[in-house]
Amino acid sequence: MSYFSEIYSGVKSLLTGMSVTGKYFFVNLFTRKDVITQQYPDNIDTLKMFDRFRGEVIMYHNENNEHKCDACTLCEKACPNGSIEIIGDKKVNPESGKSQRYLVKHIYHLEMCTMCGLCIEACPQDAIIWGQDFHHVQYDRSKLTKVLNKPGSKMMSKSKAK
């Protein structure tokens, strides 16, 4: 008798599968509700990427044009293919009177970056984060070399950062 019950359960499970896929088909045929395709060049202006999308590395700046980077170069060392170059300098902090490193330029080569995220994991200050911009098309690759700290920005004081 297991012969017939096998046929029955086989047909039943196949029909269950067909009903699942059939539902997808007809919903998408008539409403396009669940379609996940993004028609990319047409919707550059409206397309919003989800939060965890790895578009590019950016540096977080607050409203006073301050960032958290103290030019420790851990991200530069973590980068496996040398996409990050940090130019730092030293100056005397007027508050404590001690000599302290500060960031001059955080140079980021997007054209070499593999979006592995090791620099972001390495950063102790959470100064660099993922940006969601996906549209990096350029005619000149030198335009993909970016300076992440904005002109005129300075480091947040440590108490503010916490």
Residues at the contact surface with other proteins, assessed by CB under 8 A:
7, 14, 17-18, 20-22, 24-25, 28-29, 32, 34-37, 39
Cβ-based burial of 83 (10 A; exposed 0-12, middle 13-18, buried ≥19): buried
Give the nearer residue to other proteins in terms of CB position, either 1 or 36: 36
Give the nearer residue to other proteins in terms of CB position, either 39 or 159: 39
Q: Tell me the closest approach of the beta carbon of residue 72 to other proteins, in angstroms.
A: 45
Q: Tell me the closest approach of the beta carbon of residue 14 to other proteins, in angstroms.
A: 7
Q: Tell me the closest approach of the beta carbon of residue 132 to other proteins, in angstroms.
A: 22
DSSP string, 10-26: HHHHHHHHHHHHHHHHH
CB 123 within 8 A of CB 85: no
CB 107 within 8 A of CB 87: yes
